Amino acid sequence: MTNTPSYRQIVLDGLWHNNPGLVQLLGLCPLLAVSSSFINALGLGLATTLVLIGSNVTVSLIRNWVREELRIPVFVMVIASFVTVIELAMNAYLHDLYKVLGIFIPLIVTNCVIIGRAEAFASKHSVQRALVDGLMMGLGFTLVLLAIGGLREIIGQGTLFSQAELMFGSAFEDARMVLIEDYRGFLLAILPPGAFIVLGLLIALKNTIDNHLARQQTRRATNEAARNAPEAAATTTQATES
């Protein structure tokens, strides 16, 4: 019987403990290729999140009717259907952003994060938990995309929110923030090697934080055990004398 995780555990897994970009290291192709700016990263992240939510919910709904040997092909068809809907919607309403993201929108179908969550989680749990898992995994993936995209844009161009009008319309043409005046740019940050370097730094930062928290937890447990030792000894002595 499958253990049912709590909603808190699902949220923490998606955002931190089992983050797709920093722990599972899945979906790295779009993660690294499209994250050259904050807006590009936001567009792909939201598209991936919507597909994750839709596919997780659908897979959870049909999980009891799909035969074991047909499971993966059916899941891929479900994912491809949602990707097609998202692709057509972006082409219609966010055409300029759609042209920038290009082939990486239809390639969401092959994103290992989505098929992985469908197989590992949605096919084994209720619709409500599958929805929360899709939302949190998508949000965790999007946050990593935004961190990489924002850092690469700042370091590479000295700006933030460049081309925000591609997603939010002409009203946001002036949303571009120039953080470093007269900045000549840093080409390496914009090129693919820059994405690998930034991702590596983010993973190192997460591991450092996890190690620090683990040491704190160990220290607290040790101190608590030391405080309880005299009480335990006194209780044992009293029991022996009795």
- Mean pLDDT by groups of 10 residues along the chain of 242 residues: 85 96 90 91 96 97 93 96 97 94 92 94 96 97 96 95 93 92 90 93 97 93 80 61 61
pLDDT digit string, tens, across residues 152-203: 999 999 999 999 999 999 889 899 999 988 898 899 999 989 999 999 999 9
The pLDDT assigned to 239 comes to 59
- Measured at the CA of 241, the angle between CA 240 and CA 242, to 5 degrees, comes to 90
Q: How many helices (H) and strands (E) does the chain have?
A: 10, 2
| C-beta atoms surrounding 136 within 10 Å | 24
Determine the 3-state secondary structure of 178 from DSSP.
Answer: strand
The pLDDT assigned to 235 comes to 63
The pLDDT assigned to 1 comes to 45
Radius of gyration over every alpha carbon of the chain, rounded to an integer in angstroms: 23
Residue with tokens 């990707």: 83
**Continuous segment of H or E residues that includes residue 172:** none
- Do the Cβ atoms of 14 and 53 come closer than 8 Å? no
The pLDDT assigned to 229 comes to 67
The pLDDT assigned to 237 comes to 62
How many whole angstroms separate alpha carbon 130 and alpha carbon 157?
Answer: 39
How many whole angstroms separate alpha carbon 30 and alpha carbon 92?
Answer: 22
The pLDDT assigned to 238 comes to 64
The pLDDT assigned to 228 comes to 78
